Amino acid sequence: MSSRMQQLHRPYRMRAIWLVLGALLVSASAWAQEVPVGSLNAATLQGKSGAESPPPAPTWDQRLRRIASDFMGTRYRLGGSSQDTGLDCSGLIKQIWQRLGLADLPHQAANMARLGVPVQLRDIQVGDLVFFNTTGKQNSHVGVYIGDGRFVHASSVLKKVTENSLSEGYYQKTFNGIRRLAGVNTVADASAISE
């Protein structure tokens, strides 16, 4: 082809290149609108045929905290064992253990204090039971440890299920000890507990 002919075809070639680039940009823009930014993952890139992996199962700590939080604000009732009608301290612990699918516990703090093994405060774990002398009798009150120095219990003073710190003066003064219900509330046992 002569150089004169090449010069005549050059504008057409450039126009064709620009048209192809424009078409690519339009289709890329349309694709971006269909797939929101941030939603690209392996399943999107491979097509929608791949099954999504299920979310990880909650840990023992997470499950216990979530269940304990479900009782927050429930009214206190001496001898109570129902969230609907009211709970006392041991009734609350019984209900939490039942929702976790664990052993049925006796309905008195003093009886619960006979179960499991004693634990030093420095070794406390989520799910350990904390006991107090609030009536002049040992182990007359019980709560469940939820981490960060805090425990959940049914308070006869506040007349509801609440959360407090072990470092509060009243609870330091009345503290009786910690029991771990061996075999039912350790992290190692969490995998055996069904949701």
Are 113 and 142 within 8 A, CB to CB?
yes
> Are both 34 and 127 inside the same structural domain?
no
Are 105 and 112 within 8 A, CB to CB?
yes
> Are both 97 and 136 inside the same structural domain?
yes
pLDDT in tens, the chain (195 residues): 555 555 545 555 656 555 555 555 545 454 445 545 444 454 444 545 556 778 888 888 899 999 999 999 999 999 999 999 999 999 999 999 999 988 889 999 999 999 999 999 999 999 999 999 999 999 999 999 999 999 999 999 999 999 999 999 999 999 999 999 865 544 334 333 333
Written as six digits, the tokens of 122 are 């420095």
- 179 lies in some domain: yes
- 95 lies in some domain: yes
- Per-residue pLDDT at 23: 53
- Catalytic center residues: 89, 141, 153
- Per-residue pLDDT at 135: 92
- 52 lies in some domain: no
Domain range for residue 19? 3-46
Q: How many domains does the chain have?
A: 2
- Per-residue pLDDT at 103: 82
- 54 lies in some domain: no
- 140 lies in some domain: yes
Paired with 82 in beta bridges are: 86
- Per-residue pLDDT at 59: 85
Q: Tokens 């289709």 label which residue?
A: 27
Task: For residue 97, give the CATH number of its domain.
Answer: 3.90.1720.10
Distances (CA, A) of 99 to 25, 64, 184: 56, 9, 13
> Are both 33 and 78 inside the same structural domain?
no
> Are both 34 and 72 inside the same structural domain?
no
- 70 lies in some domain: yes
At 81, the amino acid letter reads S
- Per-residue pLDDT at 27: 52
Whether the CA torsion 67, 69, 58, 124 is positive or negative: it is negative
